């Protein structure tokens, strides 16, 4: 079994570099309860394999995804897990943020989340108002850390100025085949400012059929998914949250932690896009 690796946070605590994304577990933008048994089994499988970092959002499954995560994790020791959830862009007014977290905690059956993210920016609502609420939630102990998702460098800078605690992460799409947040300067800004970049959709957009990824995989006797994930988590200040409901793929992704890519591998993958 692979051993989890961790990124050290600004206060010396740690976050697993490989988490489980939960989009479409329990439904897309509305609840789909027809696959609940399969969804709960996938979450239990992930825990058995070794996952302790779960990423969800109030929007996923219209809140049902949080309910499923909460139901499964209720059988385990809360402090063993790092739980991230997100507030929707329509809920970024001061009182709406407070209400949104209250709803998320109720669905998750928890009294705090480790990390609370602004899911998407909303130019119609001042960030000052949103961070007033987020800062209060951290002070109250309902939220351990705050972060953002899908933010530009400009919005990241604004967030840093408004947050009473360091902005922990910017969660964005990033993979061997998706370098938008490299090209727009976000990755470099995060690395220079001690902000984690959480890569979502790390295996989409043809990553698994990419010729360079497949060549490196063949050289190591690994799978393309393992190569793509290993490339991410071996970068400075980068963690990732691939999603799967299949036990074999969950185990395959987790085993990426044991794959030691060479400097030559990393260089060829860096140039693959």
For every residue of 148-189, DSSP letters joined together read EES--HHHHHHHHHH-SS---EEEEE-BTTB-HHHHTSHHHH
Flag whether 261 is in a domain: no
- The reported pLDDT for the residue numbered 252 is 97
The answer to whether residues 156 and 167 touch, using CB atoms and an 8 Å cutoff, is yes
- Which residues lie closer than 8 Å to 97 by C-beta, 6 or more apart? 87, 91, 130, 133, 134, 137
Flag whether 224 is in a domain: no
Handedness of CA 182, 185, 188, 190 (dihedral sign): negative
- The reported pLDDT for the residue numbered 118 is 98
Flag whether 253 is in a domain: no
3-state secondary structure of 238: strand
How far apart CA 79 and CA 83 sit, in angstroms, is 10
Flag whether 50 is in a domain: yes
Taking the CB of residue 221, how many other CB atoms lie within 10 A of it?
8
| Total count of domains within the chain | 1
Flag whether 227 is in a domain: no
- Structural element, H or E, at residue 94: helix 94-108
How far apart CA 27 and CA 169 sit, in angstroms, is 25
Taking the CB of residue 172, how many other CB atoms lie within 10 A of it?
23
- The reported pLDDT for the residue numbered 31 is 84
- The reported pLDDT for the residue numbered 253 is 97
Question: Phi, psi at residue 117, to the nearest 5°?
Answer: -115, 145
- The reported pLDDT for the residue numbered 195 is 97
Question: Phi, psi at residue 17, to the nearest 5°?
Answer: -75, -15
pTM of model > 0.95 = yes
* CATH number of the domain encompassing residue 26: 3.20.20.100
- The reported pLDDT for the residue numbered 155 is 98
Print the domain residue range for 121.
7-205+237-246
Residue 123, both tokens = 């130019």
The residue from 51, 60, 174, 254 that is catalytic is 60
- The reported pLDDT for the residue numbered 27 is 80
- The reported pLDDT for the residue numbered 273 is 76
Query: pLDDT per position in the chain (273 positions), as tens?
Result: 788 999 999 999 999 999 999 998 988 888 889 999 999 999 999 999 999 999 999 999 999 999 999 999 998 999 999 999 999 999 999 999 999 999 999 999 999 999 999 999 999 999 999 999 999 999 999 999 999 999 999 999 999 999 999 999 999 999 999 999 999 999 999 999 999 999 999 999 999 999 999 999 999 999 999 999 999 999 999 999 999 999 999 999 999 999 999 999 999 999 987
The reply to whether 60 belongs to the active site is yes
């Amino acid at each position: 079994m692979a051993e989890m690796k961790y990124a050290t946070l600004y206060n010396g605590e740690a976050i697993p570099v490989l988490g489980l994304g939960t989009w479409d577990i329990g439904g897309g933008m509305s609840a789909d309860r027809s696959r609940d048994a399969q969804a709960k089994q996938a979450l239990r499988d992930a825990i058995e394999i070794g996952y302790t970092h779960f990423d969800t959002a109030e929007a996923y499954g219209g809140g049902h995804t949080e309910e499923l995560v909460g139901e499964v994790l209720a059988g385990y020791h809360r402090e063993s897990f790092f739980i991230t959830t997100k507030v929707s862009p329509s809920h970024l007014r001061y009182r709406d943020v407070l209400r949104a977290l209250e709803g998320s905690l109720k669905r998750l059956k928890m009294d705090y989340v480790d990390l609370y993210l602004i899911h998407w920016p909303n130019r119609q609502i001042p960030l000052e108002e949103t961070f007033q609420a987020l800062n209060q939630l951290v002070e109250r102990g309902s939220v351990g850390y705050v972060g953002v998702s899908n933010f530009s460098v400009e919005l990241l800078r604004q967030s840093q100025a408004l947050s009473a605690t360091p902005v922990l992460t910017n969660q964005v799409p990033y993979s061997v085949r998706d370098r938008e947040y490299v090209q727009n300067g976000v990755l470099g800004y995060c690395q220079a400012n001690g902000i984690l970049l959480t890569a979502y959709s790390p295996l989409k957009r043809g990553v698994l059929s990419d010729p360079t990824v497949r060549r490196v995989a063949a050289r190591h006797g690994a799978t393309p998914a393992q190569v793509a994930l290993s490339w991410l988590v071996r970068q400075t200040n980068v963690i990732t949250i691939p999603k799967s409901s299949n036990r074999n793929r969950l185990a395959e992704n987790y085993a990426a932690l044991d794959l030691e890519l060479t400097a030559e591998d990393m260089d060829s993958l860096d140039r693959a896009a």
